[in-house]
Amino acid sequence: MPIAPNFTSILEQEYEINFLLCYPNGFLKYTELCNLLQITAGNHADLGGISYLDMQAHHQAWVMSRMRLEVEKLPKWGDKVIIKTWIKTLENSRSIRCMEMYLNNEKIVGCESYWAVINTKTRRPDNLELPHNHFEKFNINATNQDTIKIEIDENAQEIGIRKVVLSDLDIVNHVNNVKYMEWCFDVENPERLLKQELKAMDINFMRELNLGDEAIIKESKMEKKSIYTIEKENKKAYALKIDWK
């Protein structure tokens, strides 16, 4: 697709929170928050001519490698929020994208995400084939901390097993990052989520899981921190670190 006439290097989009996106208490689910952020990033890529379909002409796609999410509070059913996104860096096969969510002009969420280009045939990293100089890059932080490599406890306790089904897969034909998060939250104390005790999350995506794969979920808990890992055949595919208030 060509660059859209209304393309801008910083995109702002408004969303109304509907009941399908909410927990039973009426507040936005953390998983749906991440979906909205990724949708906004995807829309920005579409407008700028580096969308999934554009990249597929070169057998390429963006995949998220790391993410840092800091949450002051969640919006609730009926709220209208603004999500802003911009590219911080984009070189060769790597990009850092920032996102923020605003409610009534108050910033309530900050996100920094680290993306890689893969070749969808070889499933290996690949340099971006499409032009991107029209995207102005902004050295502006959306979070207080950068994305990190999560330190994993090798003695973490096994707490569950999941088999990958069709509804777990995204358009790149692997388990989407938000699905991994959903699996971890399903074994978390629901009261901590419903009471919005989550302060920040770090996410690492290390290896693909595909249809039919069987994954083991492990957990390491501390008073103010929880670390989840998802493994296949003793190889780590995903890690999630939660900082609690």
pTM for this prediction: 0.93
Per the model's pLDDT, the better-predicted residue between 141 and 64 turns out to be 141
Which residues, 6 or more positions from 164, have their beta carbon under 8 angstroms from its beta carbon?
175, 209, 210, 211, 212, 213, 214, 215
Contact 96, 89 (CB under 8 A): yes
> What domains sit in the chain, N to C, each tagged with a CATH number?
1-147 (3.10.129.10), 148-245 (3.10.129.10)
Residue listed under structure tokens 């928050």:
33
Q: How confident is the model at residue 63 (pLDDT cuts 50, 70, 90)?
A: confident
What would the pLDDT profile of 64-115 be if each residue is shown by its tens digit?
899 999 999 999 999 999 999 999 999 988 999 999 999 999 999 999 999 9
Print burial letters for 213-234: b (CB count within 10 Å at least 16), e (below 16). Answer: bebbbbbbeeeeebbbbbbbee
What would the pLDDT profile of 183-206 be if each residue is shown by its tens digit?
999 999 999 999 999 999 999 999
Q: How confident is the model at residue 154 (pLDDT cuts 50, 70, 90)?
A: confident
What pLDDT score does 179 carry?
A: 95
Residue from 211, 216, 214 nearest 184 by CA:
216
What pLDDT score does 171 carry?
A: 87
pLDDT at 1 over 80: no
